[in-house]
Amino acid sequence: LCMHEAALDSTIARYGDDHPNVAECYNNIGMVYRVQGEYDEALVQYQKSLEIRIRVLGPDSPDVATSYNNIGSVYKAQGKYNEALVQLQKSLEIRIRVLGPDSPSVATSYNNIGAVYKAQGKHNEALVQHQKSLEINMCVLGCDHQAVAGSYNNIGIVYSAQRDDENALLQLQKSIEIKIKVLGCDSMEVATSHNNIGDVLNRQGDYENALLQHHKSLEINLRV
């Protein structure tokens, strides 16, 4: 945090208050506060970044979309889901206009909106958003990409929340296969997938295979 604040001071001294680099400094400080769980202070910093970006870059800049996305992520962390959706929708609309409907950034927006719907317990709406994200990622990035694996994982998690274990396992298995192919067997992402699959199997009463998945997850965590 001290380094980011020092960078902010030197950037203002060099460029003045209204400059994209200053906005980036505020954004970086906001990210640190968000990670620390100091959400109100994160919002203050993200708002400063947003205001500069709108003035300097215009309201349809991809950086403005990023600011709305970041503010939305903080509201989600605070449990303010309606406020989060407002910000994430603004981000999505800018990204579609500026980057096109098939941009990976648009896929990210759909994913983030889906995560808020899941947190609200609106599982069908969440599935719609995650499916949109998956379709874009597959079209643009190809079938064997980490982002595609992430989409399958997110869809699987929603099915799991609905207690639709069959579909949950199907999606989670697709996710882990891609992760192993792309990241290798000892990736932390693979460990997370083993854990997610284990949770579903445990709920099904398949305790032997659930333990196998959780042990695989543990072994990766211990190695990595």
Given a cut of 90, is residue 213 above it in pLDDT? yes
pLDDT at 77: 97
pLDDT grade for 132, boundaries at 50, 70 and 90? very high
Report the pLDDT value the prediction gives residue 167, as an integer from 0 to 100. Answer: 98
Q: How confident is the model at residue 4 (pLDDT cuts 50, 70, 90)?
A: confident
Question: Chain-wide mean pLDDT for the chain?
Answer: 96
How would you write the chain as a 3-class SS string? CHHHHHHHHHHHHHHCCCCHHHHHHHHHHHHHHHHHCCHHHHHHHHHHHHHHHHHHHCCCCHHHHHHHHHHHHHHHHCCCHHHHHHHHHHHHHHHHHHHCCCCHHHHHHHHHHHHHHHHCCCHHHHHHHHHHHHHHHHHHHCCCCHHHHHHHHHHHHHHHHCCCHHHHHHHHHHHHHHHHHHHCCCCHHHHHHHHHHHHHHHHHCCHHHHHHHHHHHHHHHHHC
| pLDDT one-digit tens code per residue, 137-182 | 999 999 999 999 999 999 999 999 999 999 999 999 999 999 999 9
Which pair of tokens denotes residue 167? 């579909």
Check pLDDT > 90 for residue 64. yes
